[in-house]
Amino acid sequence: MRGMVRETRLAPEQLVLPLFACPGEGVARAIGSMPGVYQHSVDRLVEAAAAAWAAGVRGVMLFGLPERKDAVGSAAWDDDGIVQQALRALGREVPGLVRIADLCFCEYTDHGHCGVLTPIASAAPIAPGVPIAPGIDVEVDNDATLANLARQAVSLAKAGADVIAPSDMMDGRIGAVRAALDAAGKAAVPILSYAVKYASGFYGPFREAAESAPAFGDRRGYQLDPANGREAMREAALDVEEGADLLMVKPALPYLDVLAALRRRWDLPLAAYHVSGEYAMLKAAAERGWLDYDRVLMESLIAIRRAGADLIVTYGAVDAARLLAGGWRE
């Protein structure tokens, strides 16, 4: 009877699995802070995606670890870059799988920030290969970063991305990316905006996985203050006006109130990112026998759905899909 009257339901096709592509062949490098998650070479990434598809997961989100990094993250728009290779391989080997490409530079820059840096005392961006002199204060150059994001988006779309997902939090990025995709003949490629991305302590394990920790400073200058809810609504409104097709809240569980507020205001599809730290906490507690991993994972995902998410990006996507396929009941 509980099942018959259940208000919120979860299905495998509502889950998206993040995957990390790295150079090499036959590589499946375990990430210490995220049990069960790996950096994969393209061949092994295809195997992981195929297993997810077999479990019922219908989407993956791709992040790249390039062979080279520089001040502007130029490897991100290399048409033979690591994510571009993965997109093409997945298109060949796992047809039907929705390929979502993360759009950002933190994995590609040698300083780990999400865009071009400019010395505060100068208007000139820091050029590729030019080191930042000690003692120079820098800031992310929002407008210079937009041009590079547009280049990256077009390259990813041409490589086969079904969805482009800007996660950089630069102002005006959705409009810039939409215009670039349209001009490149990719008007049908939708944009999943990380519209509400908080400056969160829950990202720690991801920075190990993506090798993207900032070399100095932090990202609070362009990510949202965890204390602010109304600001999140303004950020989302700007992205909707600029042409976002889907909106996302990141992290998920600490910001369910924000997710619910977005659901009440907009009819666009909503996603939530059940981030690395949220996943790692469940795994760590379960390893110590403090929690039942399966139960708390499913409870967490149901809570995210109940708050209004249509899609959930989660490292537990395959685990949850297999539980659902096995007839999971709380």
First to last CA, the chain: 12
Out of 69, 158, 197, 283, pick the active-site residue. 197
**69 in catalytic set:** no
Three-state SS letters, 44-84: HHHHHHHHHHHHCCCEEEEEECCCCCECCCHHHHCCCCHHH
Show pLDDT as tens, one digit a residue, over the chain (330 residues). 888 898 999 999 999 999 999 999 999 999 999 999 999 999 999 999 999 999 999 999 999 999 998 888 889 999 999 999 999 999 999 999 999 999 988 888 887 777 777 777 665 666 655 555 555 577 778 888 899 999 999 999 999 999 999 988 889 999 999 999 999 999 999 999 999 999 998 988 887 876 666 666 666 677 899 999 999 999 999 999 999 999 999 999 999 999 999 999 999 999 999 999 999 999 999 999 999 999 999 999 999 999 999 999 999 999 999 999 998 876
Q: Give residue for tokens 């759009």.
A: 103
Coil vs helix vs strand at 111:
coil
pLDDT at site 156: 98
For position 85, what pLDDT does the model report? 98
249 occurs within a structural domain = yes
Structure tokens at 117: 């840096």
Q: Structurally, how many domains does the chain consist of?
A: 1
Give domain status of residue 2, yes or no: no
State the Cα–Cα distance between residues 165 and 61, nearest whole angstrom.
Answer: 9
Q: Please indicate whether residue 186 is annotated as part of the active site.
A: no
Which CATH number fits the domain that encloses residue 197?
Answer: 3.20.20.70
Alpha-carbon torsion angle 289, 294, 296, 299, nearest 10: -170
Asked if the structure places residue 330 within a domain, the reply is no
The range of the structural domain enclosing residue 225 comes to 12-325
Domain assignment of residue 163, yes or no: yes
Residue 136 contacts residue 201 (beta carbons within 8 Å): no
pLDDT at res. 71? 82
| 8 Å CB contact between 217 and 113 | yes
Q: Which two tokens stand for residue 267?
A: 């009819």
**CA atoms within 13 Å, Cβ hemisphere of 243:** 18
**Among candidate residues 170, 197, 175, the one with its CA nearest the CA of residue 271:** 197
Domain membership flag for residue 95 = yes
Domain membership flag for residue 275: yes
pLDDT at 106: 82
Which amino acid, residue 134? P
Q: Does residue 116 form part of some domain?
A: yes
**Is residue 3 situated within a structural domain?**
no
